[in-house]
Structure formats: C-alpha cells, structure tokens
Amino acid sequence: MQTRGPSIWERMLSIDRRILYLLLFANIVLFLLLPIRMRAAVSPPVQKFYDEIEKLQPGDLVMISSNWSASTLAENQPQLEAVIRHLMRKKAKFTLISVEAQSRDISYRLASRLTPEGGYEYGRDWAHFGFVTNLIVSIKGMVNNLPDTIKKDVRGTPVSELPLLKGITSLRQYKMIIDVTPSATVPFWISYAPKETKILYCPTSVMAAEAYTFLDSGQIKGMITGAKGAQEYEQLLGIVGLGTRFVNAISFSHVLIILFIFLGNLALFMNRRQMRQEG
Amino acid sequence: METLWLSGLAQYQHAADNWFAAILIAVIATTVLVSIAIARSGASLYIRRIPGLDAIDEAIGRSTEMGRPVTMIPGMTAFGVVAVQALTIFKYITKQIARFATPMRLLTGDATVYAVAQEAIQDAYNEAGRPDLYDPDAIRFLSDRQFAFASGVAGLIQRERVAANFMFGEFFAESLIFAETGNIVGAIQVAGTISFTQVPFFVAACDYTIIGDEFYATSAYLSREPVLLGSLVGQDIAKLLFVLIAITGAVLTSIFGADAPVVKLLGQPGGWDAFFGGGQ
Amino acid sequence: MWQIQNPNTPTGQLILWMIVLGAFIMIMGLVPLLHALPPRGRRAIIVIITFITGLFFAIEFFLPINKEQKNFLTDAIQPAQQAVQVITALALALGTYGLVRLHLRNVVQQRAQWGYSLVLLISFVMMATFSITNTLSEQGLVEKTPLLEQGFKLLFDYTLVQLDAAMFSLIAFYIFSAAYRAFRIRSVEAGILMFTAIVVMIGVVPLGATISPYLPGVANWILTSLNAPVQRAIEFGVGIGGLAMAIRLWLSLERGVT
C-alpha cells in the first residue's frame, strides 16, 4: 500500500529551522540597509526620561553606570550615546562607572569619542571611575565618602584632584543616576543610592519588563527600553543615531515573526482539517 | 541573606528607616516558623500538583532508556538562597539518577556553586547507596562569563545529545540558548526560575516551566518533609497577609486620601517620623 | 571600631600581619579539627557558625541607628562583605583548577573529543598571559611592547568581544524558531497568549504607530496594566519564598545541601 508523502501543511509545521534563520538574517540585513525612516509614538517612560534630563541645570552632576558589553551593544550603545549627547546639550557634567572591565573599556572609548562634539574636556566636564568589583559596597561607599571609595579614575588620577569633583565628597551631591545596563543592577541603585538622587534607567528590552513596577512606584523617574526606546529618545532630541537606524530591522523582524506565526497556525489548522477528512 | 533583606526594602538599610516594613518581615518570619512547628507536630498539609515536577521522573526514565545523559544547569546563579534551592533540587534528581546509573552532567557558571555542588552531588550518590557512580568530572565549572558559559553548555548539550535537561536557578539572556539547544537535540526540558524576564523563553522552549515561588516550593514538593511543607504553608499565609494589606491600603487611601496618618504609617518612607508628621 | 587604626605605621602593620597570620592558623587548624570530628560534631559547628553569622546581619539591621545612619555593627558590614569576596576569589581558583585539570586529562589520555580540550587549554594560556601582562603594563610594572598591545587587542577586541556579541545575537534566531513552534492555538489560553504577543510585538515598534495610532497605547497598557501587576504578584511570592528559605538556612532547618 502506498503511503502518501508529507503534505505541504505537514512540511510547514516541521520546517527546517535553518530556513527560518536564513530568512531572518536576510530580513535584518535588508532593512538595516534600506534608508526607511519611521516616526515613533514616544512612549510615556521615554518622555519622562527626556523631561527629567531637561530639568537639569548647567553644572549639575550626573552619575552614569554603564555595565554593558559587546553582547548588548546594539541596545545599550544607542542609549548611552543619546544620553551623553543630551547631557552635553544641557551642559551637565557626568561621571561614568562600570562593574566589569569590558564595560569600562567600551564606555570609556565611547565617551572619549563623543565628548569632543560638545566641547567637553576630560577631568573638567566628565570623568570615568573605572570598574568596581562590588556594586553594593561601592554605592554605599560613594554615599559615605566618594573620593575614599573610588580613589583613582580610569587614567590613574586621584579622584580628589579632578576639577570636576572639587568639593564633591558624596553621591548625595549628584542630581541624577542613569543606569545603562543589560543586568538587574537598578535595584541596587534604588536600594542604596541617596533618596534625593533621581534614578533613570536604560535597560535592554528583555530587562524592561521587570522595571515597570519601579517606574509605577516612582522609584525610577524614566526609562529608555532598548534600541526602540533609544529611537524614540533620538526623535525627541532631533537626532538620527544608531537607535533610529536599528529600529527598522527590529520592526520588520517582528513582522516576519508574526507572519510565520500566522503561517504556522494556518498549517496547524489545515493539517487537522486534512486529517479529519482523511480520517 | 543580607542582600535579600535589604534589597527588599527599597532605600532602607536599617529597620529604623521603615519600621512598618521591618515589622512585616518579623511577622512573615514568625508565620513561617510557627507553620514549621505545626508541621513538625504531625499536621497533615496539602500541596497542589505541579506538573513540571511530576515530569522529572519521566524525563530521567527516558534518558536511561536512550542511554543518553541528563544535564543539570543552575545557570549563572551566584551562591546564595537561589543556588542552594537549585542544588537541593539537583540532589533529588541525582538520587533518582543513581537508581538507574544514568550519566549526568552538572554545569555551573559560578565557582562557589561548583565547589558546593561537588559536595552535594557526592552526598546524593552516597545517600542513594551508589558512591561508586560519583564522577567528579561530571560537575563542571565552565566559565563565569555569561556567553562563554552559554556556548560551553550549548556545545556540550549538542555533542552529548542529552535526553533530559533540568534548568533551575537564576538565568539571564543565556536561558534561551540553553533551552533552544536542548530542543534541537530533542531533550525533555524542565525549567524553574525566579527570573521573571526569562520565564517567556522557558515557556516557549521547554516542556515544563516552574514559575516564581513554585521554584521555592519544589524542595517541599519532592521531599514532602514536614519542615519544608510547613514553611510553604507559612509562605502562603504571608502572601494572604500581603493581599489583605494591599486591599486595606487601597480602601483606606481611597476613603481618607494619601496624606492620612494611618496611610502614611503603612506606606510612606520614613517610618515613625512620617507618621508623626516630622519626616519626609 | 572594626578598622585597624593607623595601618601605615609599624604598629599598624604588625597588627595587620598578626591578624592575617592568626586567621591563617585558625583556618588551618579548623580544617583538620572538622575532619577529626564525628559527623554530628561537624554539623553542630556548622550550625553554630551559620547561626552567629546570620544573627550578626539580623541584629545590625534591627538595632537603632544614630544620626549618621549607623549602629556599632554597621562598620563591620563592609569587612564581612569583603570576606565574602575573598571566598569567591578562592572558589574561582578552585573552579579554574578543576576546569584545567579536566581538559588536561582529556588531552593527555586522548579521550573522546580531546581536540576541543586542546583548543581550550591553548586559548586559556594565551588569554591569561596577555591579560595579566597587559594589566601589569597598565600599572607600569612591565613594559608595554607592540606584541603585547597587538596580541591583547587581537584576543580581546577582535575575538572575545566579537564572540560575545555573536553568542548574544543567536538569541534573535532562537526566538524566531521558538516562537514559530510555541505560538500555536492549541487551547484558549494559547490563543490569548499568541494574540497578546502579536499586539505587543507590533505595538512597541514604529511600524505599529504607522499601522494604527492606537496600537502603541494598547501595547503600553498591556505592559503596564497587565504585565506589571502580575509581575509584582510573582515578585511578592518570590520574595517571601526567598525570605522563608533564608530563615531555614539560617536556622539550619534546611537539610538540602548542608
């Protein structure tokens, strides 16, 4: 007795995953290269983020905790670039700190590349504290005695000798903390940073889901979520950065995934129908 | 434990910063301890069925039939409460594995967990009466770098074509790499995590997923020890207490407004200072 | 109170070395003592040490504080956390030793797939050599030669960083295959899951706003009004579960791995 081969619906249900990967790859490359620009609807968390930085006065001091490495570059780099540009626009001064060596190097190089655009000088307008091994201990230490906790910056200069930090002895003197991270480090800032210092958050899209509770309760004042959030933020700033360029690929990848979800369900439905008819 | 307590009280490093929260912790602790005492005195306690945990024995049986190993992954969990719970679960699994002499691999991304896991797994084999089956090389510390660990685990799962994959602990972005690789080789996968953000990936890629505090209930479910069951009942009572407080707070705030003394006492930072009007 | 006064003076240095030596002797004495004890005696010591160390943190938390937000135990928290870091570093050395031993044995005995072990060992030695030398050169202890600079750049910037990014980007592809397989309407709940996922996926990207101005609002509502409360509920349960587990460990009621 001849057995029939798999129907088209059965083949669709068990499609080789390599075909899916190839299609996604082609989709991403195509839409990265195509110069399509779409306007985003700015979400409330991003608007809040923007508004908080807009409230900064020239000379206000901001702490940027940059904990991302190459793996989350696509999401965190656009965020950090946009944040630094906005801070420079407001003439706010900032210091960077990281919790691992790779993120220290990446954020230091990024800031060194961007800061000349705003006429910022290292030591006078911005500095990098290098990396710390224990974030909780470091935050507590910076609240009590910042120069004693950090001691030297990434270039080996004693922190107390930096013009930027003249008279700064505690994290309490910072107006704002911005956490750019793919990890769950913001609860530590919320728990141990001074209550009067505002906290803003730049997570990857995956980590954003668990931050809405902090946003709701006011423990963080604003949030930029991944590359998509960076694109909304860039739109508010009126610049075209990495976020704007990446978001096309993201948008149309979502469309491709949704299309295949529909196709998968169609195949499931048609296959069941066929089996009932044969049945 | 300190981090757990302190991170649970946002911005409060001491009880004096928010006495209400501190009292709540003490009440929860007391509830748990009283429930443990009741359980120890012989009370019969009910625990509902958790399908993912019932599937553990089925998965081990399948591995044994296929002659392929079982992998146990506590993830990048740093040593602490979560890691201890994960290792407790893996100890149970190892005792089941020892009955059938199924090969196993325990892969960690934290060196402290690796050190403790070696002792725990050796104990498990001893308790199962099969100390000869213990192989120190089956417990491996791969790397503490997230994606180096992920690639090591993925490679091992693919090369050894594991038949069952148990992932319990705290996971981050690497979770989908583990789960999907296990899916590619056709392994039965049971995952349990407290990491809320990774639950969708496990739900999509694993056969069974244990969410949230079901993870902490696992040891009670598997062992049925009175202490653990009592603790579970105490946790549930504490959760009911939270629900009542939330409802009470919502009703009181709706009726009296957010500035009422009783609302400030319950919810505002500053503890007694806020209540007496002198605080933040 | 918990810090050595004037550690840079000869007396301070002497006290420091005496403390280090004393701790070393105590630990070296503790290990054979623990081995010599019967299991019940060993367990008793572990239970006592666990209880006292947990009690320290509990008491420090509950004791009243002064205007500086401290009580007499607060200054001891930092040394205690530093002690944990020391233990973590020792464990890392142990883990690294275990890793190298395993793969060295694979290569020497030419076990199955020993080629991968060889690659690991070579990479390990190269990366460790260049990283340590680079760190020493940053501190001025070793000369920074062009070979060192280029080698470190090749291994770190051009290999490690890129491999990290490549592994992370696998997730995008895995999500596609997982979503294609998982989002099938096999039940009412699965249908709701699929529909919600599609609305959020389209609503959060600019394309959603282009399709309909209401989509971003709906997606945001799902994230903030459905997702966030559920997450809070789960986090409450997890927090209570963690607290209960911590109490059991502190009081040695948890027999799991102890």
Residues from chain C contacting residue A250 (CB–CB below 8 Å):
205
Overall average pLDDT of the A104-133 stretch: 94
User: Which range marks the domain in which residue B83 is found?
Assistant: 51-223
Residues in chain A with CB shorter than 8 Å from the CB of B13 are: 140, 191-192
Helix B214-223 with B81-100: angle, nearest 10 deg: 40
Is C227 within 8 Å of A209 when comparing Cβ atoms?
yes
Whether B209 and B72 share a structural domain = yes
Residues B100 and B235 in one domain: no
The verdict on residue B280 lying in a domain is: no
Does residue B86 sit in the same domain as residue B35? Answer: no
Taking contacts as CB-CB distances below 8 angstroms, the residues of chain B near A136 are 3
- Domain match, A171 and A219 both: yes
In this structure, are B103 and B233 located in the same domain? no
Clarify whether residues B219 and B232 are in a common domain: no
Tokens representing A155 are 């270039």
Helix (H, G, I), strand (E, B) or coil at B12: coil
Work out the percent of chain A whose per-residue pLDDT is above 90: 67
Q: Is residue A127 part of a domain?
A: yes
**Rounded to 5 degrees, what are φ and ψ at A3?**
-95, 135
Is residue A151 located within the same domain as residue A231? yes
Q: Both B177 and B267 in a single domain? A: no
User: What's residue C130's pLDDT?
Assistant: 92
CATH code: domain of residue B182: 3.40.50
ipTM of the complex: 0.85
Q: Are residues B70 and B24 in the same domain?
A: no
Q: Which two three-digit tokens encode residue C71?
A: 């009580």
Q: Are residues B138 and B246 in the same domain?
A: no
Looking at the fold, whether A65 and A190 belong to one and the same domain comes out as yes
Q: Which residue has the tokens 């060596």?
A: A101
Q: Looking at the predicted structure, is the pLDDT value of residue B158 above 80?
A: yes
Domain-located, residue A2: no
More confident residue, C166 or B2: C166
- Residue A227 sits in a domain of what CATH number? 3.40.50.720
Q: Does A18 touch chain B (CB under 8 A)?
A: no
Strands A93-98 and B139-141: unpaired
Q: List chains touching B (3+ CB pairs under 8 A).
A: A, C
SS3 B276: coil
By Cβ distance, the residue of B28, B33, B141 closest to C240 is B28
* Average confidence (pLDDT) per 10 residues, chain C, 258 residues: 72 86 85 81 87 91 81 82 83 90 94 91 93 85 88 89 89 93 89 92 87 90 88 89 91 74
Q: Do A12 and A111 belong together in one domain?
A: no
Residue numbers in A near C168 (CB within 8 A): 71-72
Beta carbons within 8 Å of A86's beta carbon, 6+ residues apart: A50, A53, A233, A237
How many CA atoms are closer than 13 Å to the CA of A112, on its beta-carbon side?
A: 9
Contacts of B217 in chain C (CB under 8 A): 241
- Tell me the C-alpha distance between B77 and B113, whole Å: 8
Q: Does A260 touch chain C (CB under 8 A)?
A: yes
Total count of domains within chain A:
2
| pTM recorded for the entire structure | 0.86
Residue A211: inside a domain: yes
Per-residue confidence (pLDDT) for residue B271, from 0 to 100: 53
Q: Which residue of A has its CA nearest to C89?
A: A133
- As for how many domains chain B has, the answer is 2
Mean pLDDT across chain A: 91
A124: containing domain:
44-239
Same domain, A116 and A178: yes
Distance CA B185, CA B159 (A): 9
User: What are the structural domain ranges in chain C?
Assistant: 80-171, 183-258
**What is d(CA A256, CA A250) in angstroms, rounded to the nearest whole number?**
10
Kindly give, in sequence order, each residue whose CB lies less than 8 Å from that of residue C209, ignoring residues fewer than 6 positions away.
A38, A39, A40, A41, C215, C216
Of B21-30, B75-84, B250-259, C249-258, the range with the lowest mean pLDDT is: C249-258
Q: Among residues 199-238 of chain C, which lie with CB inside 8 Å of chain A?
A: 201-202, 204-210, 213, 216-217, 220, 223-224, 227-228, 231-232, 235
Say if A204 falls within a structural domain.
yes
Same-domain status, A127 and A17? no
CA B75 to chain centre: 12
List Cα–Cα distances, A205 to A208, C98, C208, in angstroms.
5, 36, 17
Say if B131 falls within a structural domain.
yes
In a domain? residue A3 = no
B203 shares its domain with B245: no
Q: Tell me the average pLDDT of chain B.
A: 86
Supply the DSSP symbol for A171.
G
